[in-house]
Chains A and B, each alone.
Chain A
Amino acid sequence: MAEMKTAAYVCRGCGIGERIDTARTAKVAEKEGKVQLVRQHDFLCNAEGVQLIRDDIEKEGVTHIAIGACSRRSKTEAFYFPTVALSRANLREGVIWTQPETEEARETTQEMADDYVRMACAEVKKMKLPAGNPEVGHAKRLLVVGGGVSGMTAALEAAKAGYSVVLVEKTGSLGGWAAKIHQRVPFHEPYQDPAPTGVTELAAAVTGDPGIKVYLNATLSRTSGAPGRFKVQIATESGGSSAEEVGAIVQATGFTTYDIAKLPELGGGKSPNVVDQAGLEKLAMEAAAKGQPIRRPSDGGEVKTVAFVQCAGQRDETGTHLPYCSGHCCATSIKQAMYFKDANPGVDTVVIYTDLRVPGNGEDFYRSGQSKGVTFTKGKVSSVEAGGNGCKVNFHDLILDDKNASIQADLVVLATGQVPVSGVNIEKQEEMPAEEKKVISILNLDYRQGPDLPQLKYGFTDSHFICFPYETRRTGIYAAGPVRRPMDMVQAIEDATGATLKAIQAMENAELGRAAHPRSGDLSFPSFRVDGCTQCKRCTVECPFGAIDEDEQRYPVFNESRCRRCGTCMGACPVRVISFENYSVDTVGSQIKAVDMPDEFSEKPRILVLACENDAYPALDMAGMTRTQYSAFVRVIPVRCLGSVNSIWITDALNSGYDGVMLMGCKHGDDYQCHFVKGSELATYRMSKIDDTLKQLALETERVATYEVAITDIARVPRLINDYAAKINEIGMSPLKGFA
């Protein structure tokens, strides 16, 4: 594709032809867009229209195409021309569907359409056909970190799908917590009795699988590379070290229990008769091995009453203990009460809870517990007096409102929560000595941003609980099981399966030089111009995915396979040397400049809208589909993420006479909705600094506004636009028109 040949197509279908003078628009493309070949068509997305474009590509050698038809989100299959650069002018959703069908509105509607065609022509000329990431990796092996139920499931699922697996387990045997429990909560109906864990069979399946290589007593001493070509050093306890090359990683490092010694008020650590759930499992296993009932630890006496204290050190509002609910503990306590009731119905088992929560099919199991005679008392335990052979559990009975309720028990089980084993908190790693970091770290990544996965909340490594489970902020590394969020065994199995599928997808994409989620399949990748770089490190610091390292001369090193193609680096770069082949400072900048700017006295302001293509832009499209009208003065440009917005675009827009700039990105903060985690947050932060620029230009600060827009804001987005247009009308036209 040595020579660029441009073509523009204007569709007259879907009512575009009736509302817009397409002949004029076509002329605009030819004269102002300076496109070599311009065609109009009555129904561009039908077979004939598509064939027309295809013929032009083949026979005329067209390399760059601008299509003026529907939104770039529509008809993507019809307008799929992988061999050429393509831009779309949104004449349907963006123009005719959002403008009133009146004679008075005809002129502004036409201007809007003409501008979008100008923009599409300008954009496509700056675009290159993405060639795909050259740094592909071909490793198709999966590394699973952790040999518990999640890890073993991940390994087996990958093996079943035909991928070889390396499994690294820190301890001397497979099984994890599941090997340390007597029985598990049932997975299958009728959900009535505890079931065997099945962990021995699972471990045997893993060790017996020729596609799974298991390292026991081993940890990762170094992880480097990128999806498709991760290089890991596996250190074994004996001092040996082996190297493996893998394509993706599933981290299933599980959890530890919350230390009961931190709960002295509940008798934790004060008496052998106060145990946590793991402690009771140990007692149950020992008793089962001897074929005896569970005995009182202090003196081996008979257990007549057992009290289960739910939410011990969990759901704590004081900030001392775990603030969250671990999800599995209610069902676990019911199961443990059944250990006693099934052996001897005469044993009193009392579960003291504030809210009993049994997810999944736990309600049936709960009912089974009740019919077996397990007593459930709604109350908040204030203290456990432990000493000698008995314990006194004092609680506030919440149904009878009795603050001084108490029961005597031989054994007290505290339902403490799950604490994720997620390694180093990379946001607080500065405070740690390097050696300690090395020991605690799980992955020992040699990434610039730190040795482990970023944590989302309470130490759990996830990037978004609802929208993208298993995804972490390190491409090609997926979290599964209780390290991701608190969960029980059945959820961990599901999690491991999901994460494995994600990992397989990542390996396959990496081999083809394509991006992983959320721009899955994207062939573009960021590149930078070395001679312009000032080594300011902003891109390396701000990349939400840790894709960019630094070389010895402190220049950025883009690990393309780790990149998610959000463009946050491009938005961050103060000298604008970072770009993608089909998305750059120029592709957007040229669109901004392509708009025809009416003069100060025309009463036609121009408002630039930079809209996130994941949420705000679809919301705008849907506003069009519902025929919700908005101001004809806006010109919308979709951006990959608000994080990719370079402030030069804002300055350029204001300098070239735009009266206002609206930035629409996703919700940020604790419950963010940004597909790229930090993009909208960074953009908002950057825009908070734009006031100085505005003052330098002697402009009102209202001329740049940032909004949080969700994909569901279909009715709100047009309102925001109209309100903003009214405000611009109030503060008046920009004084900078006509200077550019």
Chain B
Amino acid sequence: MGDMNIQAIEQYRSDFLKEVEERVEEGHWVKMCMQCGVCSGSCPFGPHWAHPPQEIFMMIRAGKREEVLSSDSMWMCTSCYNCVVRCPRQLPITQIMHGLATYAHRLGLAPRNQPTRDFSILFWENCTKTGRVNELKLTLGVYFREGLMAGIKKAWNMRNIGFGLLLTKRLNPFELFKGHACKDQKGIHAMLKKAQEIEARRHKLPA
């Protein structure tokens, strides 16, 4: 991952805007922002992030690569699409935020221990493995993210809900061992591989 970052720095030099335009999902929209600030004002999480979308766009144009990619701001996006609906320039802001987060993750620059990022990794690995989400493993993965004791504590707190699920046959404890999978696991893996190839080509990512 680090190599990819070095490669990107070398390829784009100081032109971060161009890098974003080429490599980030919907990144070519960034230049069309007119800095009205409606997105920042519309964001329900607005006061809680370091940099609202308007600022992120400005930072990209000002070439602040490190600051943008290592920021946890775009990880805070809840995909409510308020900004997209209101943007007078019709920028797909939500998509750009996710695109930036993904790109930062790929380069290994995204902040460590960011809860959204951790959950996303867990979810992705969980579901792509068998083609089905194993809810029990995913939940326990989230519980034990911060260590054994913290995990036990969280599981204990949730025990009543867990038993309830068990009684209504909503939770199968045997899933923990093998778990069910989709019929054509190989097919799923091939599809994902193909999709990644297309994405890499579209965003000029090194193979």
Contact = CB atoms under 8 A, between A and B. Distances in A.
Given A399-B55, A400-B55, A370 B32 contact: yes
Given A400-B62, A405-B62, A366 B34 contact: yes
Contact of A375 (B31, B34, B54, B59): B31
A400 B56 CA distance: 9
Interface string A377-414: 11000000000000000000101100001000000000
Given A377-B61, A399-B54, A400-B62, 18 more contacts: A366-B34, A367-B32, A367-B89, A370-B31, A370-B34, A371-B31, A371-B32, A373-B31, A375-B17, A375-B31, A375-B61, A378-B58, A397-B62, A399-B35, A399-B58, A400-B55, A400-B58, A405-B62
B58 to A, nearest CB: 4
Contact of B35 (A371, A376, A405): A376
A694 interface: no
Interface size class of B (residues with CB under 8 A): 10 to 19
A377 B89 contact: no
Interface size class of A (residues with CB under 8 A): 10 to 19
B34 A376 contact: yes
Question: What is the interface of chain B mostly: helix, strand, loop, or mixed?
Answer: helix
- For A371, A375, A400, the residue with the greatest tally of chain B CB atoms inside 10 Å of its CB is A400
B59 A378 contact: no
A377 B58 contact: yes
Contacts of A378: 35, 58
Contacts of A371: 31-32
A736 interface: no
A377 B60 CA distance: 11
Contacts of A373: 31
A347 interface: no
A205 interface: no
Interface string A501-513: 0000000000000
15 contacts: A366-B34, A367-B32, A367-B89, A370-B34, A371-B31, A375-B61, A376-B35, A376-B61, A378-B35, A397-B58, A397-B62, A399-B54, A399-B55, A400-B58, A405-B62
A356 B32 CA distance: 14
Contacts of A399: 35, 54-55, 58
Contacts of B31: 370-371, 373, 375
Contacts of B34: 356, 366, 370, 376
Task: Pick the 9 closest A-B CB pairs, nearest first.
Answer: A399-B58, A370-B32, A378-B35, A370-B31, A375-B61, A400-B58, A399-B55, A399-B35, A400-B55
Interface in B44-63: 54-55, 58-59, 61-62
Contacts of A375: 17, 31, 61
A375 B33 CA distance: 10
A400 B71 CA distance: 14
Contacts of B54: 399
A377 B62 contact: yes
Nearest to A399: B58
Contacts of B61: 375-377
A133 B51 CA distance: 72
B108 to A, nearest CB: 25
A176 B37 CA distance: 40
Contacts of B55: 399-400
Nearest to B40: A399
Nearest to A378: B35
Contacts of B62: 377, 397, 400, 405
A397 B62 CA distance: 10
Contacts of B58: 377-378, 397, 399-400
Contacts of B59: 400
A360 to B, nearest CB: 17
Contacts of A377: 58, 61-62
A378 B58 CA distance: 9
B182 to A, nearest CB: 43
A370 B91 CA distance: 13
Nearest to B21: A373
Nearest to B89: A367
A301 to B, nearest CB: 19
Interface string B12-26: 000001000000000
Contacts of B17: 375
A729 B38 CA distance: 57
Interface string B73-96: 000000000000000010000000
A375 B15 CA distance: 12
Nearest to B54: A399
Nearest to B57: A399
Contacts of B35: 376, 378, 399
A32 to B, nearest CB: 69
Contacts of A400: 55, 58-59, 62, 64
